[in-house]
Amino acid sequence: MINLPNDTAAIARTFAPILHFHPDEGKWCCFPSDAEEIYSRFHDNWQEFKMDLTPSELDPDAPCYYEVAQHDGWTQIRYWFWYRYNRFPGGRFGMGYHLGDWEHVEVRVYPQLEDGVVIWLLSNHLSARLGARPSYMTLPGFLPEPVTEEDNHVHTWVALGSHAHYPSPTSRPFTVARFWRDQIADGGPVWHTADSLKPLSETNFFHFTGRWGDKKAPRSPTNGYNNPWRNAPNVLPVRYNSQVSD
């Protein structure tokens, strides 16, 4: 049984993820930063927003933006992280290079299901990686992966430069044409997002739904593309059946 706090801020703190960065992130690209500061400077003219590989060191107080939604019998929390640039390792001819990078971790909590169920959806390029508690649960169409968690806080490993999320430093990486792939590793800076949470609804960009830069830049978290069902539809968890999935 899962006993959720009554207020959304406490719910967000309870499940805030812990991010592990690649040891070379600061040398290759950038760490999360303040999206409100960038929006304030450039929202009137995004053409002035240029390639920016800063900050090169993790700021533990960088904002982690969150939103909490109550559905029929379950709770959804999404945590958003802003990076000033996306630089995919080994990309050729600018592949995987673009201004701005919004990434997120989604948590779905089902307190009314037997023993309580938690689903973690870790954004990974145009899809997501899924982990669950109990580990035999999943959402239809997803292969569940083992996760590391402590007191409801899931650990997620952030790929070098692309900032895609993985449930383990040994996870199978996203690969393009068998040559270019995400690089994930242990031993880098660790960010406890629970220490720097801010409601998405209280930001200066909450009502902005455009792109954060040029036409290759990501859409705002409140854009329709990033609707609540971007990672998975509104369906109940099911027991994983490897015979059916295979």
pLDDT for residue 246 is more than 60:
no
Q: What is the pLDDT of residue 1?
A: 67
pLDDT for residue 3 is more than 90:
no
* Cβ pair 50, 22 in contact under 8 A: no
Q: Which residues contact 225 (CB under 8 A, 6 or more apart)?
A: 219
Q: How far is CA 113 from CA 2, 127, 136, in A?
A: 9, 26, 14
Q: For residue range 68-112, list pLDDT tens digits in order.
A: 999 999 999 999 999 999 999 876 666 789 999 999 999 999 999
CB 190: neighbour CB atoms within 10 A? 13
CB 194: neighbour CB atoms within 10 A? 17
* Cβ pair 211, 219 in contact under 8 A: yes
Whole-prediction pTM value? 0.96
* Cβ pair 20, 166 in contact under 8 A: no
Q: What is the pLDDT of residue 243?
A: 46
pLDDT for residue 209 is more than 80:
yes
Q: What is the pLDDT of residue 24?
A: 98
Q: Which of 6, 82, 80, 70 is nearest to 39 (CA)?
A: 82
Q: What is the pLDDT of residue 58?
A: 98
| Single-letter amino acid, residue 155 | H
With tokens 């805030």, the residue in question is 16
Q: How far apart are CA 20 and CA 30, in angstroms?
A: 13
The model's confidence at residue 156, banded by pLDDT at 50, 70 and 90, is: very high
User: In whole numbers, what is the pLDDT of the chain averaged over residues?
Assistant: 94
Q: For residue range 191-208, list pLDDT tens digits in order.
A: 999 999 999 999 999 999
Q: For residue range 31-73, list pLDDT tens digits in order.
A: 999 999 999 999 999 999 999 999 999 999 999 999 999 999 9
